[in-house]
Amino acid sequence: MTTKRPNGKVYLIGAGPGATDLITVRGARLLARADAVLYDALVTPEMLELCPQAEKIAVGKRSGQRSTAQDVINALLVESAGKHQLVVRLKGGDPMLFGRADEELTALEAAGIDVDIVPGITTAFAAAAATKQPLTKRGVARSVAFFTSSTAPEQADLSALPHTDTMIQYMGGREAIATAERMLAQGRNVDTPVVVIENCSRDNQHITRMTLAGLAHGLSQAHGPVLVMIGEALRMREHQALDGQQVLAPRVPA
C-alpha cells in the first residue's frame, strides 16, 4: 500500500517594482530555497537569478500579448504543490494589489494546500521614491486611491472618488488618457500635476512630468509597464532637482 505524498507549501511573494534589490529579505530567502517558481511577465531575469536551483515556470500576463489564463495558473500551482515541498508564486509589485491573489488563494485553499503571503513593494511607493514625491502632503493631500482600468477603461467610475487627493493609475498607458479626459470633464483643474513613470526602478526607468490637460492630449508610446500619478501632492518643490526627468508642457490642439 502506497501512502500519498503530502502537499508542499505555496508562497505568494511580491517581487517589488523590478529592481532585484527591492525584494524583501524574506522573499529572497524563500526564492533561494524554492523547488519551483511560477513567475509573472514583469519579473526580471536578474530576479530569477536568486533561484538557480528551482524549476521555473513562466505564467505571465501582458496587455495585448499572449497570456496564461488564470485557471491554468491556478491548476499549475496546485499541481506544483503536489510535486514539490516549497513552491513560489512570484508576482510583480505586491501580491495583494492587482495581483489576482484572491483567485489563487481560493484555488489553493480548496485543494487543501498551505499558503502564505510575503508582501512586496508596490510600484506606487517605488515611483514616489524614484521621483522624490510623497503621495501625501500636510495641508494638501491626505487621501490616496489606487485603481486600474486596463481591461475596461470606459467603465471606470471616477465620480466615486471626488474627494481623493492623489490618484494612482496602474497599467496606465493609453487608458490614462481617458482617465484625464473624464477628470477634466468632472471639473478637475487643468494644471493638476501628473507624473508618468515607465519601467519604475529599472535601468531603463523613464519619468515624465506634465499636467492633467497635457495627459488628456496623449502619451508617448511606452515600452514597459507604466504608472500614472495625479494630484497636487505631485507638484514639484521650489528647489527640487529634476534628476533627468522630462517635463512636458500642455499640448495645444491644432
Q: Report in angstroms the alpha-carbon separations of 72 from 14, 69, 203.
A: 20, 5, 32
Whose CA is closest to 181, among 145, 156, 163?
156
**Residues taking part in catalysis:** 40, 61
How many degrees, rounded to 5, is the angle at CA 215 between CA 62 and CA 171?
20
The neighbour count for residue 136, using CB atoms within 10 Å, is 14
> CA–CA separation, 64 vs 86, rounded Å?
32
Instruction: Supply the DSSP string of 18-69, one letter for each residue.
Output: S-GGGS-HHHHHHHHH-SEEEE-TTS-HHHHTT-TTSEEEE----TTS----
